[in-house]
């Protein structure tokens, strides 16, 4: 999607970090927008301390209200402990669930045919966005996706991207490429695991 940088988030509490892309420096927390789609994307490469969660969620909500955003989307991971667990996700089993803060948000999920989480818990900034959305009657949706712990998970990214494309008219992503990346990563992880097992057993080939 064609977007332009419209704002940055900065704080003395953030890690001193500059993200270099195409030989240019970037703030680690940025806001991009696509005027035609009326879509805004918050991007962050920061590992935030938990003490920052509340103020950042408040800042995001305040910005969304001031700019008359009708829907706030966030995502959180449901961690799979190992590659074996990831491979045991059955064909057709849901990889992604969602929670809505309002009746309208729940209606959007139903219309998009995205399964809703009936029981569970959410942590971090997505949880605060959801709670504040409920309190202030703002439409907030949190997408919960199964992710492989401590590994790049392109399959999870594809699941989130597909859900966003259903919820935001005009938004799209090259999901096929993400899934191809997922196959490569999973294949390499399987190879590494086999090699590690062989070393543990004293088998060398």
Q: What is residue 53's predicted lDDT score, i.e. its pLDDT?
A: 94
Look at the domain 73-201 and name its fold. Answer: Rossmann fold (3.40.50)
pLDDT in tens, 87-114: 544 444 668 999 999 999 999 999 999 9
Q: What is residue 185's predicted lDDT score, i.e. its pLDDT?
A: 67
- Inter-residue contact 141 to 108 (CB < 8 Å): yes
Q: What is residue 82's predicted lDDT score, i.e. its pLDDT?
A: 47
Burial status of residue 121 (CB atoms within 10 A of its CB: 0-12, 13-18, 19 or more): exposed
Residues of the chain short of pLDDT 50, as ranges, are: 82-86, 88-92
Q: What is residue 70's predicted lDDT score, i.e. its pLDDT?
A: 92
Region class of 94: left (phi > 0), else alpha (psi between -120 and 50), else beta: beta
| Cα–Cα distance, 76 to 105 (Å, whole number) | 17
pTM beyond cutoff 0.85: no
Domains of the chain: which residue ranges?
A: 73-201
């Amino acid at each position: 999607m064609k977007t332009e940088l419209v704002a940055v988030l900065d704080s003395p509490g953030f890690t001193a970090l500059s993200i270099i892309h195409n030989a240019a420096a970037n703030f680690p927390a940025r806001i991009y927008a696509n005027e035609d789609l009326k879509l805004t994307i918050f991007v962050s490469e920061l590992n935030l301390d938990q003490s920052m969660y509340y103020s950042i969620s408040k800042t995001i909500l305040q910005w969304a209200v001031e700019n008359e955003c009708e829907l706030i989307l966030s995502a959180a991971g449901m961690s799979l402990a190992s590659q074996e667990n990831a491979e045991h996700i059955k064909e057709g089993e849901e990889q992604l669930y969602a929670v809505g803060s309002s009746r309208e948000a729940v209606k959007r999920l139903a219309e998009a045919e995205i399964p809703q989480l009936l029981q569970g818990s959410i942590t971090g900034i997505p949880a605060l966005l959801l709670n504040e959305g409920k309190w202030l009657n703002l439409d907030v949706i949190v997408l919960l996706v199964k992710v492989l712990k401590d590994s790049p998970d392109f399959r999870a990214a594809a699941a989130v991207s597909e859900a966003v494309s259903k919820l935001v008219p005009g938004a799209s992503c090259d999901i096929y490429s993400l899934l191809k990346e997922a196959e490569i990563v999973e294949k390499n992880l399987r190879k590494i695991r086999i090699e590690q097992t062989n070393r543990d057993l004293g088998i060398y080939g």
